[in-house]
Every structure is written in C-alpha cells, then in structure tokens.
Chain A
Amino acid sequence: METLISVEHLYRYYGATCAVRDVNFELRKGQVLGFLGPNGAGKSTTMQILSGNLAPSAGRVMINGIDLLDQPKRAKAELGYLPEQPPLYRELTVDEYLWFCARLNRIPRQRRTAAVATAKQRCGLSEVGARLIGNLSKGYQQRVGIAQAIIHTPKVVILDEPTVGLDPIQIREIRNLIRELGQEHGIILSTHILPEVQAICTDVQIIHQGTLVFADSIAGLDARMHGTHLLVGLRQPPALSELQALPGVDSVETLDDGRLRVGYSIDHNPAEALAAHAAMHGWGLYELSPERMSLEQIFVELTCKEPGAATHEAAA
C-alpha cells in the first residue's frame, strides 16, 4: 500500500513550551486515522503542521512522497484541510466559494464545473448552491468546509474535529461520508468523541502532552480492550473456593449486584470450563461475558498518567 503521509521526528515549540515532541507516524491509502487527545495535547498543532499552516521546529513531513517544507506547492496540491473552524467567506454563495476553491487548487478549467458538482453532491449541498454561506446553519457550513477539502480529490484529507456542533443525523451523514472517502483517500481526523473513532476509523493514535502515547489499528485496539476478567452470573453460586479451583482462574470476587468477577491469566480462558461446571452442578448460569475495557478507559489510563516526563526544553 502506498504511504501517503510520513512524519518523522516532528517537534514544535511555542517559546519554551514544547507542543509536539518527537511525533512519528505513517498514513497509508485506505486508512482513516483517528487522532485523539485531551485539550491542548497537540492535536491541532500537529494538523496545522501537516497542512502547511505552521512550520515545525524540527522534523520532516512527506505528503505522498513530497517534502512539505522543500516543495510546499507540490505537496499542498495533494492535501485537503478542514481546520477546526471552517475557512469560509461568509459573503459568498456556496457555488461561488467552491468555484474559488477549485481555481485555488488549480483544477483545470474544463474539469471545474464537474469538480464543484461532485463535491456538492458528496457533501449534500446540491440544494443550497445559490445560498450565502453566512446564512447557512452550522451543519451546512461544516459540510461546505468538508466540500472545500475534497474538491480537488486530494490524496490526503485532514479533518480537525469535523463533527463538532452537528446534530445527530448530520453526524451520521458526515461519518458515512468520511468512511466513503476513506476508501480512496487517506484520512486523518481529530476528535475527542471516542465512539466516533471506533465507528469510523481504521487506526487510532492518542497524543498526550505532545507525545504519541498510543498507536494501533482498531483491530489491535479491540484485542487490547479484551480484559482478563469474565463477568459471571449464577443463580445458585457455589462457594468461591470452588470456582477458584477451576483451571486458569486467578481470582474471584463478588460484585455489588451479585455477579461474580473472575480473573484469569491471559493465555488460559476458563470460560468453557466454567460453563461446563455450571451445567454439571446446576449453578444456574445466566450470564457469562468477557469484561471489556472501553476506549475511554484506555484513553483515561494513557492520558491521566503523571506528567513527570514533561520537561521544558528551549527550542533548538
């Protein structure tokens, strides 16, 4: 698969504060990369650097194999960017604005009409083409912002919190659009809505205090979320020691609602044995489920660690 973005040793200082510290990652075609982090973690800074709005203090950004700092014009032709606040000229109509964006992105004259029409159709803007952007609702403005980012069918689309301020129906539509775009483009999107990442992304990265603390695919994340505990509901529970004696069981505790929480070693899942014993001894098994860590738990675990590692170095 072709690598669309590669970021190497990216640093960004604001004065003495280090906003982004040694960030490395790659984005390949067909990936939708979710960028997570608490407020002020460096998400937007990283995205601004990737889109050429901000110069990194050190490091290298390659967009589709072209160095963003050496050949900004060629590299920028391959990317579409939607900042946190969509960059809209409120006094223009949607058509005029998209037409301007098409020209700005050097779409040849004969393909411009088609490009504008496609972008409008994909973002559900066909009805509002003649309306002033300033008079549109927030959701529609957001869509115009997305249309602007994809009008020149760039290889890479960078979306900074694309679903903020939208109603639930619009959020679903935008998510579908992003999923659809993800098939032909590489997409990076930042958000702090965790279920959104699980719903649309193929990969996740968590950034905390400027450093990447977690990077994995959604499949890898799923595996990680499987804990080492089973939740067991029994109508006639035996003595805890009896359960403890089952092969693989490390610990048993009773939860407040009467269910049992069974801990086991990672490579020895006692679920089958437990079910067999329950049936044999008539324990009255009514629930047997793996306890899952939510993405939220992982997020909190990673981002609420001691901030001891954060040292303030002066810009090189």
Chain B
Amino acid sequence: MIFTIAARELKSLFLSPLAWAILAVVQLILAYIFLVSVDQFLEVQPRLVGMADAPGVTDIIAAPLFGTAAVVLLLVAPLLTMRLVSEEHRNRTLSLLLSAPVSMTEIILGKYLGILLFLLVMLGMLALMPLSLLVGGSLDFGKLGAGLLGLGLLLAAFAAAGLFMSTLTTQPTVAAISTFGLLLLLWIIDWTSGARAEVSGILSYMSLTRHYEPMLKGMINSVDIAYYLLFIITFLVLSVRRLDAERLQH
C-alpha cells in the first residue's frame, strides 16, 4: 500500500513541470560548480605531485561539489515537499486516502517514500559527475561513498521536515517557506560565538551542517547517522500524528 501511494506521488511529480524544472536547474548549477572544481584541480595538480600526503581528486572535486549541492538542495527541497499533503487538502483529494482502507502511517510513509525516490534520482544524477572522472583517472570510492551517504541522509532529513510542514497548512507556499526557514535555521544554528560551552555544544549537536561535514571528509560516525535517523523518525511521527489529529479538528 505504501508503494501504491509512493508510485502515485512520484508519477504526479513527474507529470508536473515543477519537478522537471527543478531537476534541470539543479543539474545545471551543480554541473557548473563541478566544472569549476575540475578547473581548479587542473591548476593545482602540478604542485600536488611533489607533496607527500597530497589531497586526491576526490577531495578537491567531489567534496566541494557535495558541499555546495547541500546548500542548493536546501533551497530546492522545500519546493518539492511543499505540495505533498497541503495540495491534497486544497484539492480535497485527501478524503480519497482517508476513506480507503489504509492507515495514516501508510499514507505518510507512502508520500515520504515517493519524494525520497525523487531525491534519489537527483542524487544519482549528481553522482554521475564525479564518476565521469573515471574516464581519465581513479577515484577514492570510500570517500565518494561517504559523501553520497551523507548527502542522501541530509536530503532524507530535508524531505521529512518538509513533509511535516506540508501537513500543517493548506497553502503550499506557506509550507515551502516554513520548511526553508526551519532547515536554514538548523543549518546556521551553530554560528554562535561567545555562548557558554554547554549551550554551544547543544546547538552544534542540533546543527545539520556539523553532522554532514565529517562525511564529506570520508568519516562515517554512528553519531551522525543516528542524528539523521532520529531527525527523520521524529518528523515522520509528527506528520502521522498531525494527520490523525485532522480527523479530530474542532
């Protein structure tokens, strides 16, 4: 049942020009950044040859690419998630799901899976860029894999937060702007200086960036993975509760 809803969600996404436009724009911008990184690498390459512990091609090209991709997708993800539930509210199509023999959890998980699959397509297209370097050299697959995992988890977290925001309102744009606000806040929350040590510790634990950066360097910490999983589960549970509360509305 989850897959039925996910398939419908994915189909509707690809039937709307928005998804195609987003895919095209993101690909264009990231391709440009990729080319710039390749250019930089070619410039510094002669100097790297002599160094003992020189950064490889993956460090110089893939890591900045993924770093920028995270920011670009932070802007784009709310646009994809905004209509998940709010549009069903607006078009009154939610009653189709509510009067069908499916549970609230299945509805939410179906929608989440649908958007996740779309983001995976995006991630796959992004991964093709560094992989294209295999034509003329070799890559550090460990670091590349860690970066992709990190970006995947980050996107999954974006989607979960966006889905929850979409259950709160019937206006897709409101959902988009609130998702964007929430994600941006969590992105910059550790930019505090002069705060007491324990406060800044908590803030930096809450930061989306702090858990992403190590993975770009090829470090996979269970703390970071746990952070993302908790983040995702929290927002999914909240979404289910929220949808359930809809029936009780006053």
Write the residues of chain A forming the contact surface with B, with a CB cutoff of 8 angstroms: 13-15, 48, 51-55, 72-74, 76-77, 79-81, 83-85, 87-92, 96, 100-101, 103-106, 148, 315
Q: Contact at B12–A89, with CB atoms within 8 Å? A: yes
17 extra interchain contacts, Cβ-Cβ under 8 A, other than A53-B95, A89-B8? Answer: A13-B250, A52-B98, A53-B99, A54-B249, A55-B248, A73-B102, A74-B101, A76-B99, A80-B99, A81-B99, A84-B92, A90-B91, A91-B15, A104-B1, A104-B5, A104-B96, A104-B97
**Nearest B residue to A76 by beta-carbon distance?**
B101
Which bucket holds chain B's interface residue count?
20 to 34
Alpha-carbon distance A54/B250, docked complex (angstroms):
10
Alpha-carbon distance A85/B91, docked complex (angstroms):
9
Q: Which of the residues A13, A87, A90, A103 comes within 8 Å of B96, measured between beta carbons?
A: A87
Given A81-B95, A83-B92, A91-B12, A72-B103 contact (CB < 8 Å): yes
Name the A residues within 8 Å of B102 (CB-CB): 73, 104
Q: Contact at B4–A100, with CB atoms within 8 Å? A: yes
Alpha-carbon distance A48/B99, docked complex (angstroms):
9
Q: Contact at B96–A101, with CB atoms within 8 Å? A: yes
Q: Contact at B247–A54, with CB atoms within 8 Å? A: yes
Alpha-carbon distance A48/B94, docked complex (angstroms):
12
B128 within 8 A of A: no
Q: Which of the residues A85, A92, A104 comes within 8 Å of B100, measured between beta carbons?
A: A104
Q: Contact at B92–A104, with CB atoms within 8 Å? A: no
Q: Which of the residues A14, A74, A104 comes within 8 Å of B4, measured between beta carbons?
A: A104
- CB-CB nearest 9 A-B residue pairs: A87-B96, A81-B99, A77-B101, A87-B93, A55-B247, A51-B99, A76-B101, A103-B4, A104-B100
B132 within 8 A of A: no
Per-residue 0/1 for B1-26: is the Cβ within 8 Å of any A Cβ (1 yes, 0 no)? Answer: 10011001001100110000000000
Name the A residues within 8 Å of B12 (CB-CB): 89, 91-92
Per-residue 0/1 for B92-122: is the Cβ within 8 Å of any A Cβ (1 yes, 0 no)? Answer: 1111111111110000000000000000000
Query: Can you sample 7 A-B contacts with CB below 8 Å?
Result: A52-B99, A76-B99, A87-B91, A88-B93, A90-B91, A101-B100, A104-B5
Alpha-carbon distance A315/B249, docked complex (angstroms):
12
**Nearest B residue to A100 by beta-carbon distance?**
B8
**Nearest B residue to A78 by beta-carbon distance?**
B101
Write the residues of chain B forming the contact surface with A, with a CB cutoff of 8 angstroms: 1, 4-5, 8, 11-12, 15-16, 91-103, 247-250
Q: Which of the residues A72, A80, A87, A100 comes within 8 Å of B94, measured between beta carbons?
A: A87
**Nearest A residue to B8 by beta-carbon distance?**
A100
Name the A residues within 8 Å of B250 (CB-CB): 13-15, 315
Name the A residues within 8 Å of B1 (CB-CB): 103-104, 106
Name the A residues within 8 Å of B247 (CB-CB): 52-55
Name the B residues within 8 Å of A83 (CB-CB): 92, 95
Alpha-carbon distance A80/B101, docked complex (angstroms):
10
**Nearest B residue to A52 by beta-carbon distance?**
B99
Name the A residues within 8 Å of B5 (CB-CB): 104
Q: Contact at B95–A87, with CB atoms within 8 Å? A: yes
Alpha-carbon distance A96/B96, docked complex (angstroms):
15
Q: Contact at A87–B92, with CB atoms within 8 Å? A: yes
Most central of B1, B93, B100 by chain A CB within 10 Å:
B100
Alpha-carbon distance A167/B93, docked complex (angstroms):
24
Q: Contact at A85–B101, with CB atoms within 8 Å? A: no
Name the A residues within 8 Å of B8 (CB-CB): 89, 100
Name the B residues within 8 Å of A101 (CB-CB): 96, 100
Name the A residues within 8 Å of B98 (CB-CB): 51-53
Name the B residues within 8 Å of A53 (CB-CB): 95, 98-99, 247
Name the B residues within 8 Å of A55 (CB-CB): 247-248
Name the A residues within 8 Å of B15 (CB-CB): 91-92
Alpha-carbon distance A307/B248, docked complex (angstroms):
27
Name the B residues within 8 Å of A148 (CB-CB): 96
